[in-house]
Structure 1
Amino acid sequence: MMVLACSSEAGSPDTGAGGGGQVTGGGAPSTGGTDAPGSGGGATTGGSTGSESSTGGGSSTGSASSTGGGGTGTGGAEPPVGNPSPGCGKAGRPANGKVTVDNDHIYTFPESYDGSTPLPLLMGFHACGNPIDQFINLTRGSAFETEYVRAVGRSSDAGGCWNYNNDIAKVLRIHEDLMDNYCIDMDRVFATGHSSGAQMIVQILTHKSDADQLNFRAVAPVAASDYGALQVPMPAMYIQGQNDTVRGGDGASTVARFRAANMCQTESTPYSEVMGCQSSGKTVNPGCISYSGCSEPTIWCSHDDPAYSNTSHGVPCFAIQAMYDFFADVP
Structure 2
Amino acid sequence: MAGGLGMAHAGCGETYKPGRHVTTIEADGVKRSAVYYVPSSYTGKDKVAVVFDFHGSNSNPSGQLNRSSWDKVAEKNGFIAVALQGSISGKTPGTFAWNVPHVEVSKAIIPQGGQGGLDEISFIDEAVDEVKDDFCVDPNRIFASGYSGGGRMLSAYLCAGGDDFAAAGFVNSLRAGRPVEADGKWAPEKANCSPAKPVSIVAFAGQKDEQNPYAGGGSAYWQYGFKTAIQRWTDMDGCTGNGRTETVNGVTYGVYDTCKNGARIASYSFANGTHDWPKPTEKETVIAAATDSANGVVKVSAVAKKPAFDANIDPAYRMWDFFGKADSTDVVATAAQPKAKISDVAAKDCMATGDSQDMTCSISQTTDMRRSGQGAKGAL
Residue number among 215, 225, 229 corresponding to 1:254 in the alignment: 229
2-side partners of 1:323 and 1:186: how far apart?
18
2-side partners of 1:87 and 1:257: how far apart?
40
Residue number among 145, 157, 164 corresponding to 2:100 in the alignment: 164
Residue number among 228, 231, 239 corresponding to 2:204 in the alignment: 239
1:100 is aligned to 22
CA contact (8 A) 2:73 2:316 kept: no
Residue number among 310, 317, 321 corresponding to 1:321 in the alignment: 317
Q: Which sections of structure 2, spanning at least 5 residues, go unmatched?
A: 1-8, 25-31, 91-95, 102-117, 178-188, 216-224, 280-312, 328-380
1-side partners of 2:239 and 2:11: how far apart?
37
Give 1:139 shift: 1.6
The residue correspondences of 1:1-331 to structure 2 (distance < 5 A) are 87-92=10-15, 94-101=16-23, 104-137=33-66, 138-139=68-69, 142-146=72-76, 147-159=78-90, 160-164=96-100, 166=118, 167-208=120-161, 211-212=162-163, 214=164, 216-224=165-173, 225-227=175-177, 228=189, 229-231=193-195, 232-248=197-213, 249=215, 250-265=225-240, 267-270=242-245, 285-291=250-256, 293-295=258-260, 296-306=263-273, 312-317=274-279, 318=313, 319-330=315-326
2-side partners of 1:290 and 1:113: how far apart?
33
CA spacing shift, 1:90–1:303, aligned 2, 3 Å = same
2-side partners of 1:265 and 1:141: how far apart?
35
1-side partners of 2:63 and 2:232: how far apart?
26
CA contact (8 A) 1:218 1:330 kept: no
CA spacing shift, 1:324–1:305, aligned 2, 3 Å = farther
1:281 is aligned to none
Q: Where is the strand percentage greater, Structure 1 or Structure 2?
A: 2
Quick one: which amino acid aligns to residue 88 of structure 1?
Answer: G
CA spacing shift, 1:258–1:90, aligned 2, 3 Å = same
2-side partners of 1:183 and 1:217: how far apart?
17
1-side partners of 2:128 and 2:97: how far apart?
19
Give 1:187 shift: 0.5
1-side partners of 2:194 and 2:40: how far apart?
36
Give 1:90 shift: 4.2
CA spacing shift, 1:195–1:206, aligned 2, 3 Å = same
Q: How high is the TM-score relative to the length of structure 1?
A: 0.62
Which string of whole-angstrom CA distances, capped at 9 and with x for unpartnered residues, describes residues 220-265 of structure 1? 1112233143422111111111242222325122112210121113
CA contact (8 A) 1:193 1:222 kept: yes
Quick one: which amino acid aligns to residue 325 of structure 2?
Answer: D
Greater relative contact order (CA < 8 Å, ≥ 6 in sequence): 1
Give 1:179 shift: 0.5
1-side partners of 2:63 and 2:250: how far apart?
24
Q: How high is the TM-score relative to the length of structure 2?
A: 0.55
Deviates more, 1:297-306 or 1:182-191: 297-306
Identity %: 20
1-side partners of 2:231 and 2:241: how far apart?
9
Aligned partner of residue 164 in structure 1, secondary structure: coil
Aligned partner of residue 233 in structure 1, secondary structure: coil
Aligned partner of residue 56 in structure 2, secondary structure: coil
Q: What is the Cα-based RMSD across aligned positions, in Å?
A: 2.3
CA contact (8 A) 2:246 2:254 kept: yes
CA contact (8 A) 2:12 2:47 kept: no
Which string of whole-angstrom CA distances, capped at 9 and with x for unpartnered residues, describes residues 94-124 of structure 1? 2344431277001111111111211110100
Q: Which sections of structure 1, spanning at least 5 residues, go unmatched?
A: 1-85, 277-283, 307-311
CA contact (8 A) 1:198 1:223 kept: yes
CA contact (8 A) 1:121 1:149 kept: yes
Quick one: which amino acid aligns to residue 167 of structure 2?
Answer: A
2-side partners of 1:256 and 1:237: how far apart?
13
CA contact (8 A) 2:65 2:71 kept: no
Quick one: which amino acid aligns to residue 132 of structure 1?
Answer: P
